[in-house]
Structure 1
Amino acid sequence: MGNLNSILAGTCTIKDLFSFEKNYTISIPDYQRAYVWDIKKVESLINDIESFYKENAQEIYYYLGSILFYKKDKNTYEVIDGQQRLTTLLIIDYVTNKSNSLLKTKSDLINFIFNSPISQNNIIKNKDFLIQEKNNLKDKKWLDIFSKLVVSVVITENQDDAFTFFDTQNHRGIKLSAVDYLKSYHLRELKEELGKQEIFAKKWDYNNQNQFLNLLYHQILWRSRMWKGRDVRYENNDMLLNEFQEKTQKPEIKNRINIYSNKKNRIAKSLEFNEYSGITLQTLPISLQTKAIDFPLELRQPIEKGIGFFLYTEKYVEVYNNLFETNHNIDSEIGLFQDFYEKVYLNADVSDYLKMLFKLSITTYYDKYEEYQLYPFALWLDFLIGSYRIKLDSIVELTPVKIIRDESQNLLDIILHSYQPDEVFHFIEKITDNEIYKTEKVVIEFKTQHRVKERYKKAILNYYLKGIESNLTNKKNWINDRVKDYK
């Protein structure tokens, strides 16, 4: 092996890799993403290897790509890149070797711990699939093949180098998303504080079930921050990384992030995180603990690297879940909003593009005013968005951009720069073409399946308790009546 700036590189068989001759351990760090290989990927790997050996002599070695390790201490090697392949090989070995498998004989040296439900589910499914294939694997001499699998091994003793490799490796498994890179980048900022790394990595994985954070960052957080004025466009991975990685700031004081005056904050100037006592607001005379949804953070505020980024993420995970996932009492402000959203936007199967804009606007409003008059805002927001649903025969990806960009002012800007909700309501009323409702001629036919405009109109009429033969001419009055009754 060669040695260059504490980076070692070489080649070995999988058998040698797991020989543990010097009593080292191999582990998967908490910040790694879940084990995501499914049966199709496992089957593809097996078929590739078997096809190779059909065409070549059994003594030839099969190259499995590179494995990247971070040497955490003298005897601990963390897998930075290659965990999908190594985990799959260990499952194959366990199924074919049972009591003599590595997971049985070297269990104290292989620290592959998977807390994510995604990982656990995929491991169980892949194991069950391989058990069904067990006889075929034995017939094709997989015990011999296993000893002839070769990998390139890269070992670095510098965590920065490890993450650099991690960011640039051409992954053999599923391509990393921008959100995966953000996680590794900001965990790197906590490299000297392993306790905090572990806490934030676990919270991140818990919040990222079913890749939820991709939705949150792409459809809510980036757009709420960057859709300003007439500069309204869809993001790509590079734009996401620029905003939430390159533009984030170094904290002035370790473990402490700056906060700014807003509805949740009139007295505090910073927020401090401790892995033992949690979150504390720092003020001159007092210190108050708080929970994520109450963090005095704002959508468009500057974001600090490391702790600041993870707390910002936690805050808006809870905000999103509070608005769209947690069921609230129908008598509450959020409960009234949720009832409307479910009956109109979910039950009527409104276009995903319009639902995205609705959620983005609701989240932005909540960031400014919390629950205060959230229900009237939802009704007025639908007054605007619904006019496009009635007017247009088809809703396309560009439609939400045009709704925000092509009006006299940007709705998201108006919300965040306003002082009272009425300013927002008046703006929406001003920019909405009420003639669309007055002249609409959508006919609801009595069929099992309704077209998109019909479904929306029917949902609106049902919500406002109007007959199916009614038109939408008086929709503005219906909204005003609901708002008066609700008050």
Structure 2
Amino acid sequence: MGKVNFQVKKVGDLLKHHLTIPSYQRPYKWQPRHVNQLIDDVLSHRDKECYRLGTVVLHKDELKLANAIALNIVDGQQRLLTLTLLCTLLDQRGKFSSPLLEQEFASRVSINNLEHNAKVIESRLMGLNDDERQSLLHFVCNRCELIEVTLDDLSEAFQFFDSQNARGRALAPYDLLKAYHLREMMETTGQAERLHHVSLWEQGVSPDDGSASLHLIMGEFLFRQRRWLDGDYGIQFSRHNLEVFKGINLSTCDYHYLQSLLALDFAVEHYNNDPARKWDKQHQSYPFQINQIIINGKRFFEYIQHYKSLHHTLFDGEKALLGDFLKKHTRYSGSSRKGDIYIKNLFMCAVMAYYDKFGDNELAQAATTCFRWSYYLRLQYQKIGMDSIDSYAREARGLLRVMGKAIHPQQVLRFEPKRCENIRFLNARSVQDSIAQMLGDVDDNK
């Protein structure tokens, strides 16, 4: 077995190594949103003594150079190249240097993305004077850290990389977020409280009470709802869009727009810590909304648990508010096909967003509206992919966008979903019958 070496390295020290990008690596493909997220992370943590930026996997190639040891980048190319660009553009005095700057790129994709991202970084740094640039450069090089995993056997390096990216839970998006928000709690909460949230989190990964898993709640509900309500892409939650669940740290920021959040957070904490609560055992939960600004740390964990509970209230178990509705209208011949499962998820996302905003006010009528809007796709198209669901969900005049702007239930209930007059597919007959029955019930109640 080859030698494996783990070290925590300062970014500046790591970038001084003779790092090379081997020919088997994919092109540099980071987009502006990835670059901006890295810069946001650096800027928001620059007052800390150290900040961990992740892990890189390197292969020590002693045969590549005559007079030096080359370290081939197996995993971490995107982050290392972006950090090199950032440090180079921060340094206007010509003191920063990295062998990665001498790398030759054969891929036009890599060259174009590097040139474009350099412009993105420079635009972000435009307002900084020379002293501010030097201060930020010092933070990135000397207080930002990476875990360097170095292996001298290439096959084992690939195995390590594969295990981290495919099987290893350390790089799953949910666990990356857990680590991020636990880190945000370090200075404001005690160990007992952190352990409490970790325990609930781990229970949610593989629940034994029949409730939805944390993966399902975050990936197929909250991620999609937060994106769709804003009219944005919401097909798949991965480690490349963690920013959807990262927000603001109330203990370190004092922006004007945060005053209402600060006041609400204080009021909830003050109420729950009032000695009178010890005898009346009353507890005030934070009044979350699906598409609110994420509050980093403890509130993030509470946010996820809140929506696990809300999902259970609506859909799971014998007492679920919409349990009978789901059984009656979403179980039909063909309902287990992939496209029909996508549509059912769209319906559940819509009705969950309504309940989040208006509670059980006119919930039955709202469920009917959400069903007609969602299952229109089943009547209209024979084959349905997640990309079609995504486009439909974020239509500018679609139900979710109306719901996001509504301030009264009636603004949602008067939404008129499209009607499909001519049903061309036999597998849609049962859905058509459900909608006809719903419309009949609505007319009878008028």
Could you tell me the TM-score, scaled by structure 2's length?
0.53
Q: Offset at 1:375?
A: 0.9
Q: Per-residue displacement from partner, 1:142-180 (whole Å, max 9, x unpaired)?
A: xxxxxxxxxxxxxxxxxx9999579xx847472332111
Q: Distance in 2 between matches of 1:179 and 1:309?
A: 12
Q: Which residue of 1 aligns with 2:442?
A: 479
Paired with 1:172 and 1:239, the residues of 2 have a C-alpha distance of 18
Are residues 1:313 and 2:304 paired? yes
- Post-superposition shift, 1:3? 11
Tell me the C-alpha RMSD between the 2 structures: 4.0
What residue is the counterpart of 2:293 in the other structure? 302
Q: Which amino acid aligns with 1:175?
A: G
Task: Please give the alpha-carbon distance, in whole angstroms, between the structure 1 residues aligned to 2:299 and 2:178.
Answer: 12
Match of 1:252 in 2: 251
- CA deviation vs aligned residue, 1:32-91 (integer Å, no higher than 9, x gap): xxxxxxxxxxxxxxxxxxxxxxxxxxxxxxxxxxxxxxxxxxxxxxxxxxxxxxxxxxxx
Q: Say if 1:320 and 1:198 are closer, same or farther in 2 by CA, change over 3 A.
A: same
Structure 2 residue ranges without an equivalent (≥5): 11-142, 150-159
Larger Rg: 1
Alignment partners' CA distance in 2, 1:393 and 1:3: 53
Give the AA of the match of 2:400. Answer: L
Deviation at 1:395, TM superposition (A): 1.8
Question: What secondary structure does 1:214 align onto?
Answer: helix
Secondary structure at the residue paired with 1:398? Answer: helix
Alignment of 1:387-398 (within 5 A): 387-398=376-387
What is the letter of the counterpart of residue 314 of structure 2? L
Question: Are 1:273 and 1:307, in contact at CA under 8 Å, matched by a contact in 2?
Answer: no
Alignment of 1:180 with 2:175, yes or no, is yes
The 3-state SS of whatever aligns with 2:365 is helix
For residues 391 and 4 of structure 1, the distance between their equivalents in structure 2, rounded to whole angstroms, comes to 57
- Report the alpha carbon displacement of residue 368 of structure 1 after superposing the two structures with TM: 0.5
Match of 2:323 in 1: 338
By how many angstroms is 1:305 displaced? Answer: 1.7
Distance 1:198 1:380 in 2: 42
Aligned to 1:250, what secondary structure does the other structure show? coil
Counterparts of 1:315 and 1:259 in 2: how far apart (Å)? 23
2:242 is matched with: 241
Question: In structure 2, what is the equivalent of residue 417 of structure 1?
Answer: 405
For 1:219 and 1:281, locate their aligned partners in 2 and report how far apart those are by CA, in whole Å: 38
2:330 is paired with a residue of what secondary structure?
Answer: helix
Q: TM-score, normalised by structure 1?
A: 0.49
CA contact (8 A) 2:268 2:286 kept: no
Alpha-carbon contact 1:272-1:281 (below 8 Å) kept: no
Between structures 1 and 2, the one with greater strand share = 1
- Select the structure with the greater relative contact order (CA < 8 A; seq sep ≥ 6): 2
Judging changes above 3 Å, is the alpha-carbon distance between structure 1 residues 290 and 453 closer, same or farther for their aligned structure 2 residues?
A: same
Tell me which residue corresponds to 1:220. 221
The one-letter amino acid paired with 1:194 is: Q
Q: Letter of the 1:251 partner, please give it.
A: L
Gaps of 5+ in 1: 8-159, 262-266, 329-333, 444-451, 465-474
Residues 281 and 206 (structure 1), Cα distance of their counterparts in 2 relative to 1, 3 Å cut:
farther
- Residue 375 of structure 2 aligns to a residue in which SS? helix
For 1:287-314, what per-residue CA distance to the aligned partner results, in whole angstroms no more than 9, with x for missing partners? Answer: 99436xx531111111122112111111
- For residues 244 and 165 of structure 1, the distance between their equivalents in structure 2, rounded to whole angstroms, comes to 26
**Distance in 1 between residues matched to 2:293 and 2:392, nearest whole Å:** 27
Q: Secondary structure at the match of 2:223?
A: helix
- Indicate the structure with greater helix content: 2
Residue 239 to residue 365, structure 1, CA distance change in 2 (3 Å): farther
Per-residue displacement from partner, 1:367-395 (whole Å, max 9, x unpaired)? 10011111101111112222221121122
- Deviation (angstroms), 1:280: 5.6
Which residue is equivalent to 1:456?
431
Name the SS for the 2:213 alignment partner: helix
Aligned residue in 2 for 1:203: 200
The amino acid of 1:320's aligned partner reads: H
Specify which of 390, 396, 408 is matched with residue 401 of structure 1.
Answer: 390
Paired AA for residue 213 in structure 1: L
Q: Look up the equivalent residue of 2:204 and give its one-letter code.
A: N
